[in-house]
Structure 1
């Protein structure tokens, strides 16, 4: 084989920009290019993965060279010696054989030993990295394995025993078939197997970036920053304007939103309003409603609002993940805030109980405890009660203490404390109780109206009555003021009124009736006049009592009463005839009208709405 000339297999056509080895096109590289590729792979993937890639690269080169030889010259065993010659021709280094080839096709035995001289791989590795602990002629080992495997149709593995790259005098190797390696085969073959169980580099970089974004956003919550900073950070990450809306679709934070068209924002709110009416909130992580990407802020079963991103640049998949992370962080911020509010409400509830338990004098311990919580009880205060009332029977059951706590969390507590910082907000049963610092002013009535407006606009399923008691100038005044406010809420609710603001002293005769020691006697008087209508309505599932109430409220105007009751005037006349037959009232008589109206007011004040009792 010494005189064998491979030049006949090579064909150079530089004018066409091609080089052939037989009928396979080849590419010529500088050795420094392979060195640079190896360095890139090591720095990008690490040594183990880089070794596997380059070993398999060398294997494919050797395998295809073997197939060219067998196709051109046949499979005579002596032609195996063309492998080292091709190795030299490729410029990888010189090959010397130390142990003559042993090969048996039938027993699948293959063994040959040798050395590489002037190994380009080893020399470059020492220059760049210094001497290492492992052999570094990865492409050469792969080439030898590939050529032997392609020629013999066996799985032949090359193992580099010594290497200049690790400080040895020369690079020696041993080629064996898998069967000849025996129990060592699994160890030797590891770099020749393609392993796709690891993540690609782009995925790993994206995951690292995603983790970094999540860590950065999470630290904002841990540092106590609110949604304003979250919106600003997200906008900085994705280079787009960001808007955060609460569940009532109010904008609570925004960054770089100056250029958003107001009509686009209105359209966005209308779209989200339709979604809320149909499903409660978006059921997907991110949805496109051009030009906005929208993602819901959800934690567990709780929904707080949305993050809307105005897409001014094309968003990558990673940036979409950043939006989802921001929603998660906003949910964390809301959960943290809710937990804080719940803890504060418990503490304030205990303080409220303590305050209301005092009936005389001062208590230094209470004063100190209140001051540590930020309340100066030495100033004038009033006790205010916020009574949330369901708009209909269906949602009245929602108004539990838990529902009321959610109302406090949603913003009414913050509203009160923003207006009057020294005010204590707590929940008692299913009502919100406020010890309002008035400092001797009449500010309580204005605050009551603002609270009412907030609840009506933010909680459409409820109406609200706000009541207050007498001014508290000393500790003994707090409990009577609380009782005044609580009783005023009871009276207004019994009268069937809603969205009313009133102090106890403004209820006039109703407050006097409530304080009466002869409540049963007064109730008996009212029932003596109207009890027959109650019994008739219960027995016949009718509404004569309601008809009488509306008729008197409309100043005995038949048409207006019929319209209010959604019935025909003739039907109304029939009902009023039955009322007259049962009660004996003559509504053309002023005294009878007064007696019937008084009885209605007394009955409602002392017993509440008929359906509630």
Structure 2
């Protein structure tokens, strides 16, 4: 640029300066000079369509901007400004949009050409305007100083670019990028994922534990930064988003409580964010490859997987598995398509919990992996979730079992087993429609399939064997009557209504149960054991 400036400022002819500018465009990159357009005259390489292009330039009114030139992939008009004057435009085209640094060089060339044109004009007027020439020389000196400062700044930016490119090539990932930006700026640097979880830290003062903002506040902050298109200050930090396309993959931030960050620090931060975006996009590609090779994430969560893999894969899906999660298992009796249940439950959970959830169909059930919600007024929102889903499906005949929350993804299989257990008990209860949590099961946690089934069956046989045999021989319903009697809290009227029999028929059956079993139905110990045995019989018996 300095050499070109010396040659240009030696020229006194406008045409020579413009021709030199046109011939220099190709030396700055894969560009094509379409022409130079002055305020009073036009010099073009391709005259065809000149009137249309001139009209576009007049609409720009001295500002830079995009123009349409034939079928070029990218065309831009760079104003040739110097010492407060707009002398015209340098129009450049390329097959693809250039980088910021390349556009900076083209803009500098246009400004240099404008300065040279002004200088030539001064020389032409030199004989008749000595006083004016002195003033103009002062302005030209300022322009040269700015040009020199621009070149120095360009060299500094080039050093930043080279340093961070080496960091990217080192393969050290986000940690290496954070360390590189820290070395360039002297400030502490943090790399976070899109949810605000710390990925890497470089420099002093790392907080323990690392603070996290609310989901809504985080989302609003990232949206504001994206709209601005530049790094933005938020409290004691300056943040830039790593956004390879439309989606934010991470955030790179400078810790700057004293507000020392200047243009160079901001350039290093923004350039680091570009490299971070490439790195995170590469990591996402690896995670998506893993998703294609392994089973569905939700299936793995309920059968067992390691924490690191689960969280990386969840980020590839745009989901955060860092907070505690729990498993919900559901069935809907009169809905023909499982996909309808999956959709309804997913939407209901998103609406009630205020966040996305993971769903999968598994063995005739719908499984949901959801973040542990906050208890509003001391109550969990499971009943509301059921009501919203039932309303969407237009059926109250659904059962939901809820496992306990777990801190780590690798612990979710336990929550899944608990959800299945709670679902079985809910489906076997007097009112199958609704929600049962594992914490509500009490002694019924002991009634289940797998280990201990023989003991439970033996317990049922010990207390209800005579009634079971009698029902089998006589096609009666004494065990079902006993179960319903205890489910209704020993209330005669409620039991009779539930069984749709007369009160006297109920009395006869209860007397028959006492006679056959030999147990006093009002005795505290017998009542407990008979109720547990009846509930176990109801849960363990094959579905009708």
TM category (shorter chain) comes to 0.3 to 0.5
**Structure whose alpha-carbon radius of gyration is higher:** 1
